[in-house]
């Protein structure tokens, strides 16, 4: 049962996204370009990044994650307060990318649950905005139903 108050709270929550950028590689340039004035994520309520996981509700994992960095990523995820969401930004974060070696994690969904995948090498700012809109829809839906939707399945690529 949804009331007008639940709808208002869901709308407010989806337009007040406090993101924690976990930037490790070259996708960071596209992440920064999305925040600039031409694309302006601020109009979607996600313009002010937080650099403390305790103040953030969305973890943007941007770039390649090595096995040495995986425990750090897990610790940051665990320090975030509920409700929390994870966005995998870039093909290296989603599936390991073109790295096929022992040092690279083949997708961060092996470490933390991923809510939104934004593939690309690097992903265009338009894709980032589309992923942000999908995340906002998930946030609004969670408030209306009271249940968190299941994380997205990892995209499968055939070669």
Backbone torsions φ then ψ of 146, nearest 5 degrees: 85, -5
Domain CATH code at residue 42: 3.40.50.12280
Taking the C-alpha atoms of residue 86 and residue 77, their distance in angstroms, rounded to an integer, is 9
Question: Structurally, how many domains does the chain consist of?
Answer: 1
- Among 35-39, 104-108, 141-145, which is the least confidently predicted range? 141-145
Alpha-carbon gap, residue 36 to 1, rounded angstroms: 39
Residue 49 lies in a domain: yes
Peptide bond connecting 44 to the previous residue in cis, omega within 30 degrees of 0: no
- Has residue 101 been placed in a domain? yes
pLDDT tens, position by position, 14-34? 777 888 888 888 888 888 888
Q: Is residue 89 part of a domain?
A: yes
- Long-range contacts of range 68-76, CB-CB < 8 Å, 24 or more positions apart? 68/103, 69/24, 69/105, 70/105, 70/111, 73/22, 73/108, 73/111, 73/112, 74/111, 74/112, 76/20, 76/22
Q: Is 10 within the bounds of a domain?
A: no
Return the pLDDT at 154. 64
Contacts of 122 (CB under 8 A, 6+ apart): 26, 27, 29, 30, 90
Distance CA 73, CA 81 (A): 15
Q: Identify whether 106 is part of a domain.
A: yes
Binned at pLDDT 50, 70 and 90, residue 53 comes out as confident
Q: Is 145 helix (H, G, I), strand (E, B) or coil?
A: helix
Specify if 141 maps to a domain.
Answer: no
Across 14-28, 57-71, 131-145, the highest mean pLDDT is recorded for 57-71
Q: Is the peptide bond before 83 cis (omega within 30 degrees of 0)?
A: yes
> Would 157 be classed as within a structural domain?
no
Amino acid 155: pLDDT: 62
Q: Is the pLDDT of residue 63 over 60?
A: yes
Q: Which domain holds residue 63?
A: 18-132
Output DSSP code: residue 66.
B
Q: How much is the mean pLDDT over the chain?
A: 82
Q: Which of 85, 91, 90 is nearest to 136 (CA)?
A: 85
pTM for this model (two decimals): 0.82
- The whole-number pLDDT of residue 157 equals 56
């Amino acid at each position: 049962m949804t009331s007008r108050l639940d709808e208002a709270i869901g709308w407010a929550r989806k337009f007040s996204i406090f993101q924690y950028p976990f930037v490790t590689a070259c996708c960071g340039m596209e992440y920064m370009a999305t925040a600039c004035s031409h694309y302006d994520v601020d109009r979607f309520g996600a313009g002010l990044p937080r650099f403390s996981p305790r103040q953030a509700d969305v973890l943007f994992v941007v770039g390649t994650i090595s096995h040495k960095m995986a425990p750090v990523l897990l610790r940051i995820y665990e320090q975030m307060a509920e409700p929390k969401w994870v966005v995998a930004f870039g093909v290296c974060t989603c599936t390991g990318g073109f790295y096929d070696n022992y040092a690279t994690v083949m997708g961060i969904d092996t470490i933390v649950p991923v809510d939104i995948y934004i593939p690309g090498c690097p992903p265009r700012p338009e894709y980032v905005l589309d992923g942000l809109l999908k995340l906002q829809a998930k946030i609004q839906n969670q408030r209306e139903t009271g249940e968190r939707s299941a994380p997205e399945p990892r995209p499968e690529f055939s070669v």
